[in-house]
Every structure is written in C-alpha cells, then in structure tokens.
Structure 1
Amino acid sequence: MTSGKAIARAVRAHFLIDTALTSIILSHIYGIPLPDEIENETGTNDINPANYINTDNTDINAEDLSDELHEADAMLDELLKGDISVEKACDNVLIDQIKSRIDNFRESHKSFRTSQLWFQYMDMIDILRRFIKAERTGNWELHLQTVKDMLPYLAASGHNLYVKSSRVYLQQMENLKTTHPEVLAFLQSGHHVIRRSDKFWAGLSSDLVIEQVLMRSLKTTGGMTRGRGMSEGQRAQWILSMPDCAEMNNALQEFTGVNYGTSDQHKEGGESRRSRDCQDLKTFLSFLISRSPFVEETSLRNIETGVSADKFVNVDNSKELGIKILKSMDGKK
C-alpha cells in the first residue's frame, strides 16, 4: 500500500503536469512564449512574456489579446495581495473568456488522437482536484458529482468492483431524500467528512481518520494492543472512554500552557513551497515544450519515444468506452 506522503507527492506531480499542459495551451492560444523559450532566446528568465507576444499564429485580435492579458495580470496581483476573494476572481467574466478560448482550442484538436489522450488526462486531473476540494470543504453535492464523473474511467480501466460499489453507493445516496431526509440534511451540512479543526480546508475522509487516528491510538503506548487485551468489554471501555480522555488532555494542555496549534496558512501556500513548485513546473515545461502533445497529427503517438500506436489502441477514447460499459450494466444484477 502506498504511504500518504507518496500519494501527496504523486498528486502534486499530476497537478504540476496539468499546469504545464495548460500553460502550453495558453501559449498556443495567445501567442505567448513560455518562460523556458524566452530563457533560451535571451539567456535570462527574468523577462515579461507579454513583451514577446506573437499573434501571427492566433485568431485573436492583438488589441483584445493585450487587454485580456493586462486584465488577467491585474486580477492575479489583486488576488495574491488579498484585495479580492477567490470567489470574486472566479466570477470575473475574464475567466469565462479564457475557458471559452481553451474549449475552442480543444475542439479544434478533436481529430488529433494524441491531443485527445492528453485532454482526457487533464479531465481526469480536474476530477481529482474537484474530489479533493469536496472532501476538504465538506461539499456533499460536489462529492457525489465527482464520484459519478469517475465511473467511466474506472469502468474503462477494468476496475469492476469499484464501479459496482460506486454505482450502488450513488443510488443509495440519491434515495436518501425519500428514505432518510434527516440523514441527507446532515450530510449536506458538511458532515460527510470529519474535522479536527474549524479551518475551512480541513475536512478529512472518515476512513482516513479511522486509520490514522483511531487505529494509531489503539496500537501505540496506552492502546489496547499493549497488554490491555482485546475482549469485547475492554474494547467497549476503551472506545467509550476516548471522549473523556480527550477532554482531560485538553484541560492539561491549558493548565500547563502547552497547546498544539497550527498556522492559518496552509503549508502549500508558503513562499518556499511556491518557489519549489515554480522550479518543478519549469522542469516539466522544459520536457513538454519539445514534446508537445498538441500537434496536428491524427496518429496516437508516445511523446517521449515517438512510437505510434496501431488502429487497435483506443486509450484515447477511454471515457466513451467507459460510458458504453456503464450502459451495458444497466438493469443487471
């Protein structure tokens, strides 16, 4: 089983790759060279890419492009300074304009199989990002939607047990509005996750808390596996005494002045982490720039080796295949 730290590193890598791919797409759309390309041309990366705009290969009016870039730059500065909220930034019409241009770019590359494969990868990363957001913020509706969005990919990859279990889970949760409306209201209020603090981005999945908190305390010093025994009475006594032990622990911390606390700033939002992300992002960009998957070719190609797949390989249509598999499962036990 992969450890939590390894999973966190893998998720971070996927997010950085997604950012690099999005940067390449925006570079194509707006005619802006990427930082690595500017560095190769000028010998320095301390250059504003906006000074190197080239609209020869774009369908965008140069004046409109310049206005969009300056508006985006100003909005980013305000967001980083805290002058505007994330919600206000996301509601800005500029975001919709950029999304629309990306959608048009994807549509124009619909017939190119290599591009479609990487677009599909980006969609999967988006599902992962939204699922993490749902768990961290306790967003019940987003949780159900992301689980539903995962189903085609799980089916196409042959994870049949995950597909069956997830479908049953979604059906049961959809029926809560008629079978147990009070439970549905409880879940919609953010209680499908567990919180150990009152911070907004602090929701934890119940199985994670059981494994890392309850099971760890059970197996460490003072736990049941350290000589107390595992009879039914001992288990009940140990579990029922946990709330009182927690209260006593908090009281002793307050009495001694030794309290456990964390910063309001997430560790991934610190200056050192952002600097490291920027450097690692440049590493991914330097690899992908010369191997861009968004080329106008109909074959399905490995961007590293250049080997092309034959006509029997259909990995670039995983979502469509997964949807067909899900439809074939309808009405079956």
Structure 2
Amino acid sequence: MEDLKENGPTAKLYVQYFQMVSILFQFIHAEKCGDWKLHLECVQKMIPAGHFNYAKCSHLYLQDRHEISAKFNTHNYHLYTNMGYFTIRRSNKFYSGIWSDMTIEQTYMRNIHLRGGLTHGRGVSPATATTARWITSIPLQIVLDEQLENFCNFKMDGTSHQHKDAGNSRIQKDEKDVKVLLEWLENHPPFLQLDNLVSLSTGVIATTEINCYKAQENGIALIPVVMKGTVDQIKLKKKNMKVLPLKSVFSKISLG
C-alpha cells in the first residue's frame, strides 16, 4: 500500500480512504466482539484521521481508559477488559455487542417515538399529563414484558442463534454490492500514475489548494500540539486544520 502512494495524489487519496475504512471495520468488529485491546488500538488510529475536536476528545478518552485499572477492582477490571463488558449486549448471540448511544436509540428513543410515547413526530409533547404518564408507565411496562416473555417461553429478540448478518439474504446482498464496486473500480482504476488529484467519476482535476489526500498527514502533524497542554488550552488556527475535499472543486467550475 505504501508503494501505491508514490503513484500520485489520486492513488494516495484512495490508499488513505482504504486505511480509514479498514480502521472503521476493525472498530466495529472490536465493539461487536468485546475486544478491548482492539478497541483502544482503533481509537488511537482514528485520532489523526478525524475532525480536530473529535481528535482532542479521543486523546482524552484514551488517557482515561489506560487509567481505568485504578478505578476498578481486580474482578471488575478483568470483566471489563477481558470478558467484553465494556460493550453492551441486548442478546446472547455472538457478535452482537453495540455502543451505548446505539443502545439508547434502540430502547428509550424507540419507545419515545412509538404511539403513546412522548412524541408524535413533532417534538416532545408539551402536555404534562402525557409526559408523566409515559415516565411512570415505562418501568411497569418493562416488567410486564419480561414476565410475559418468560411465561410464554418466547423472546422478542428472536429465537435463532445465528446473527442476522450471517443470513442468506444479507450474504447475497453483500456479494452483489461487492461485485458492483469491483466492476466500477475496474473501469475507474484509482492507482494510476497521475501528477494531479483527479475525480475518477468525472475526470475533473483538482486545484493545488485541494489537500484531502493529505488529511492523515495533517492530523499526525497536529498530535504534538494536542499533547502540549490540557484540552481547554489547545487552540489552533482554522487554516492549519482545514481539509478541502475534491467536491469543493465542482463549485468553481464554469462552463463558457
């Protein structure tokens, strides 16, 4: 991959994109499997590739996670780091760990938007009685649902132990999508030797100010600045952080 970068800015951009997507896949894999070490490794790799504010918070998050052994006792630390307890599971299926914010979306936020919830597609209902009724009924509803499932020996999370992504329909869809992508890349090879950054789909050539293919390099260059002080003391000029995508070229094209 490093040799392909030498073919020019276009090749460098797509190598960078491939590396970022690979990190994202590994991050999802770590969360679903409960792999703590891979989780931290992916967060560390994301720092130079992300938005500056996210990079600052990720750096702080890593520092806090590396000191977590002092906050847990030995047993809880073992469960959290070695048994996958840092991720949340709503079922006993393999590869089913999810993030905390996704859990909120799948439970509380879903109940809020259901019929009889706090909202009806137009924001939170201003009626005090509606809000109070929903808040007081949710704990009782959860208990009733659990007892009913136990009585009927039926779980709403599905009876199959197979992950839904391993189903035939999902596999066929993934294979079809991969085939379409490969065909497109065969007709638009991204690793040709080109001196300029070029849009593969339109052939538009980027100007010299377009620097999206250097996004990761710029992020790495900013890491020493982040490490010099505390989070509230870090201030950078916007021109040092700005990454212009290839899309910005299209706004300057004029047809005469």
TM-score normalised according to structure 2 size: 0.72
Q: Which one of the candidate residues 101, 104, 108 is aligned to 2:3?
A: 108
1:151 aligns with 2:47: yes
**Greater helix content:** 1
Q: Which one of the candidate residues 54, 65, 75 is aligned to 1:173?
A: 65
- Relative to structure 1, the CA distance from residue 241 to residue 142 in structure 2 (aligned partners, 3 Å threshold; closer, same or farther) is farther
Q: What is the CA distance between 1:132 and its match in structure 2?
A: 0.8
Aligned length: 219
- Relative to structure 1, the CA distance from residue 107 to residue 220 in structure 2 (aligned partners, 3 Å threshold; closer, same or farther) is closer
1:198 aligns with 2:92: yes
- Relative to structure 1, the CA distance from residue 230 to residue 274 in structure 2 (aligned partners, 3 Å threshold; closer, same or farther) is closer
Alpha-carbon distance between aligned partners in 1 of 2:53 and 2:28, rounded to the nearest angstrom:
22
What stretches of structure 2 of length at least 5 have no aligned partner?
Answer: 120-124, 234-256
Q: Which residue of 2 aligns with 1:139?
A: 35
1:323 aligns with 2:217: no
Q: What is the CA distance between 1:152 and its match in structure 2?
A: 0.7
Alpha-carbon distance between aligned partners in 1 of 2:188 and 2:80, rounded to the nearest angstrom:
45
Q: What is the CA distance between 1:199 and its match in structure 2?
A: 1.3
1:249 aligns with 2:144: no
Q: Which residue of 2 aligns with 1:309?
A: 206
Q: What is the CA distance between 1:128 and its match in structure 2?
A: 0.9
Alpha-carbon distance between aligned partners in 2 of 1:310 and 1:247, rounded to the nearest angstrom:
61
Q: What is the CA distance between 1:218 and its match in structure 2?
A: 4.9
CA contact (8 A) 1:111 1:298 kept: no
Q: What is the CA distance between 1:202 and its match in structure 2?
A: 0.9
What stretches of structure 1 of length at least 5 have no aligned partner?
Answer: 1-105
1:297 aligns with 2:190: no
Alignment root-mean-square deviation, CA: 2.9
- Relative to structure 1, the CA distance from residue 215 to residue 308 in structure 2 (aligned partners, 3 Å threshold; closer, same or farther) is closer
Q: Deviations over 1:164-211 (max 9, x none)?
A: 222221111111123435553332121122212211111121221122
Alpha-carbon distance between aligned partners in 2 of 1:248 and 1:109, rounded to the nearest angstrom:
59
SS, match of residue 303 in structure 1: coil
Q: What is the CA distance between 1:303 and its match in structure 2?
A: 1.3
Q: What is the CA distance between 1:114 and its match in structure 2?
A: 1.4
TM-score normalised according to structure 1 size: 0.57
Q: Which one of the candidate residues 278, 281, 288 is aligned to 2:175?
A: 278
Q: What is the CA distance between 1:329 and its match in structure 2?
A: 1.7
Alpha-carbon distance between aligned partners in 2 of 1:296 and 1:144, rounded to the nearest angstrom:
36
Alpha-carbon distance between aligned partners in 2 of 1:251 and 1:279, rounded to the nearest angstrom:
40
- Relative to structure 1, the CA distance from residue 242 to residue 187 in structure 2 (aligned partners, 3 Å threshold; closer, same or farther) is farther
1:281 is matched by which residue type in structure 2? Answer: V
Q: Deviations over 1:226-254 (max 9, x none)?
A: 986556xx95x656656633441223323
Q: Which residue of 2 aligns with 1:187?
A: 80
Q: Deviations over 1:268-294 (max 9, x none)?
A: 333333333333333222222121011
